[in-house]
């Protein structure tokens, strides 16, 4: 199937006409949204599942769920692609939970609890450091503006590529790379200031 690659409306603008029409039950408008966003959703799922057939099945399910829930969709100033990506992410996590998709996750090397340095005190200190690191990152994220935070979430928490992030945010790839660079630089300064 040939799927056109269109640019979505910028997130700060009014609700795109296609989305508004689809929410009122216009099937042609929803079909246009499907063709506009198919590649993004499929690519997102293909990278995660590493299985073309499973990615195709999950992509169809994303659009089936979106069609069922489109009347409940509320325009909040972010691209429609971000909503679809959230549905795709949840479906993928459900798939992982069912155990049908097996991915290897590297784990830390196991240590003998009898070995010196791995007593309860040491483990408690490591846990405390992890909590402090989490708090530092959370505090640093609040130093970013809304666009930077959204970009960081899509790129690093939702694990989108720069191209997928650009489509989801309604920006160019170059703009996303600049936004990412500035956000990471600001985060680095913020975390260094907190830990200093």
Domain-wise residue ranges, the chain: 1-104, 119-196
The rounded distance, in Å, linking the Cα atoms of 165 and 76 is: 17
Residues 6+ apart with CB under 8 A from 86: 158
Residue 35 CA, distance from chain mean position: 20
CATH class for the region spanning 119-196:
mainly alpha
Tens digits of pLDDT across the chain (196 residues) = 434 444 343 444 567 888 889 888 888 989 999 999 999 899 888 888 888 889 899 999 999 999 999 888 887 777 788 889 989 998 988 888 776 544 444 444 444 444 555 555 555 556 556 555 656 666 777 788 888 888 887 787 777 788 888 888 888 889 888 888 888 888 777 766 655 5
- Token readout for 166 is 């650009």
CATH class for the region spanning 1-104:
mainly alpha
Residue 163 CA, distance from chain mean position: 12
Secondary structure, 3-state, 41-60: HHHHHHHHHCCHHHHHHHHH
C-beta of residue 138 within 8 angstroms of C-beta of residue 149 = no
Same fold, 1-104 and 119-196: no
């Amino acid at each position: 199937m040939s799927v056109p690659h269109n640019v979505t409306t910028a997130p700060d603008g009014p609700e795109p006409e296609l989305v508004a029409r689809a929410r009122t039950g216009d099937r042609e408008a929803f079909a246009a949204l499907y063709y506009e966003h198919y590649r993004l959703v499929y690519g997102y799922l293909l990278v995660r599942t590493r299985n073309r057939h499973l990615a195709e099945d999950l992509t169809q399910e994303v659009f089936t769920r979106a069609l069922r829930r489109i009347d409940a969709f509320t325009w909040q100033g972010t691209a429609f692609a971000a909503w679809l990506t959230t549905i795709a992410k949840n479906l993928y996590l459900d798939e992982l939970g069912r155990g049908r998709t097996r991915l290897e996750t590297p784990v830390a090397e196991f240590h003998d609890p009898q070995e010196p340095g791995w007593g309860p005190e040491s483990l408690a200190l490591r846990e405390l450091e992890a909590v402090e690191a989490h708090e530092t990152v959370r505090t640093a994220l609040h130093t970013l503006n809304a666009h930077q935070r959204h970009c960081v979430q899509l790129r690093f928490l939702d694990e989108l590529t720069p191209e997928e992030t650009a489509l989801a945010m309604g920006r160019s790839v170059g703009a996303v790379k600049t936004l990412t660079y500035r956000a990471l630089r600001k985060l680095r300064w913020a975390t260094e200031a907190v830990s200093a």
